[in-house]
Amino acid sequence: MSLPAARAPARSALIDSLRGAALLGVIVMNALAYPHALGSPLGVVSPADSTIALSLHALASALLQAKSYAFLAFLSGYAWAMQVRGRRGEALARAERGRRARMLRQGALGIAHGLFIWFGDILSWLALLGLLLLQAPRWRLRVLRNRMFAWFAVWLLLAMPLWAARIIDGPPGFTPPGAWAVVDASSWSEVFAIHREGYFAYFVGAPWQVPMMLSLGLLGVWAGRLRVLERARIGARAWRTGTRVLLPLGAAGALLQALLVIRGQRELGGDFSLADLASQLTGPLLAAGLVLAVAGAWHRRGGLPLLARCEALGRLSLSAYVAHTLCCALLMSGAALGWAPGSVGLFAFGLAWWAIAVCVAPLWRRHAGEGPLERWVRGAGWGSRRNTTT
């Protein structure tokens, strides 16, 4: 007897659009940092005495640094809560088994990606988060809320002493092999060695990452259970809180980050460690405020045309992200083209790449369906197929 076909998971134009918009931060930050490796996520101001270059790094820190991680962790939890709505018994168990298999495949991809293409760990962390959230939609709302607050407290208790030690003693860890480490690499084996060192160092050197992402992911599941981003009667209060409280606080934190970047360049010779530390708190705060404010505006106006343009990219985000890092590897690695354009060129490259991806994604969706990596993670092999339910 054949089993009934699995029900297509729920999709939300708002969630997919937010995911596509969040990819802007990932791509621009990757572009700024890629040639330098093993240093600050902000990269290196180049030329060092350029006011325009420094302004772009300050802008990237204020608006993008650590915001996309928070966005994507929250959206991962929210989307998972949506996918299992109304499922009970065996239907829910099948959905969880499918989710577990997808996250394991994404985790394997994230490890390979981190070791050879770009040591940024977002694929691995999001896969781990997906596994840890498997059972979360089953919990009572009170249990879900309490565990969310508990992990938030663990995040702060674990992170604060480490951040204090970094402020007092300076940033620990490894010494970058050079300001343009990837560009100066003479072979692919040297490029891979840099990525391996960075990948393992970021996992070992950021123990607060798991509780941080768990608290944000659980917040997403909790909000998804309550349909905070979807129903005006339920979400209106949260939207007002995001607009009137979280957004101003996040904006103040973003301004602080920008000032720390300017100070780090002009007084500390390019040491952005204080700005990097500040971003771990202000990033999630601003991201939460933006999500709630945008959700309120989306429902009041019946959609936001500019944000809606990101929907197709949000559904192809995995393939788009890896395509971008592959481009960075081929353009900037010394074993390939060794392109080193400076801060303005790197910022423009990341921004242009994302804008082109926003324009190309609807055409891809229309003519080819899902992205090749989305299809592989779903367990359907390589390539893409026009009619899909992802």
Q: Could you report the per-residue pLDDT of 8-62, keeping only the tens digit for each?
A: 456 788 899 999 999 999 999 999 989 887 778 888 898 988 999 999 999 999 9
Phi, psi of 303 (to 5 degrees): 115, 160
User: For position 368, what pLDDT does the model report?
Assistant: 84
Mean pLDDT taken over the chain:
85
User: For position 1, what pLDDT does the model report?
Assistant: 35
pLDDT digits (tens, 9 = 90+) for 134-167: 999 999 999 999 999 999 888 888 777 766 666 6
Neighbours of 232 (CB within 10 A): 12
User: Does residue 222 carry a pLDDT above 80?
Assistant: yes
- Spatial CB neighbours of 82, under 8 Å, sequence gap ≥ 6: 9, 10, 12, 15, 224
Residue-wise DSSP of 26-72: HHHHHHHHTTT-SS-TT---SSTT-HHHHHHHHHHHHHTTTHHHHHH
Measure the N-to-C terminal CA separation of the chain; round to a whole number of Å. Answer: 25
User: Does residue 81 carry a pLDDT above 90?
Assistant: yes
Dist CA 199 CA 374 (whole Å): 23
Is 352 or 380 the better-scoring residue by pLDDT? 352
User: Does residue 178 carry a pLDDT above 60?
Assistant: no
Neighbours of 166 (CB within 10 A): 16
User: Does residue 174 carry a pLDDT above 60?
Assistant: no
Q: Which residue has the tokens 């990341």?
A: 350
pLDDT digits (tens, 9 = 90+) for 317-343: 999 999 999 999 999 998 889 888 889
User: For position 387, what pLDDT does the model report?
Assistant: 44
pLDDT digits (tens, 9 = 90+) for 100-147: 999 999 999 999 998 898 887 788 889 999 999 999 999 999 999 999
Dist CA 27 CA 107 (whole Å): 20
pLDDT digits (tens, 9 = 90+) for 250-301: 899 899 999 999 988 888 778 787 888 888 888 888 888 888 888 888 888 8
Question: Which whole number is the average pLDDT over 227-244?
Answer: 80
User: For position 15, what pLDDT does the model report?
Assistant: 92
Dist CA 30 CA 74 (whole Å): 21
Neighbours of 309 (CB within 10 A): 17
Is 361 or 238 the better-scoring residue by pLDDT? 361
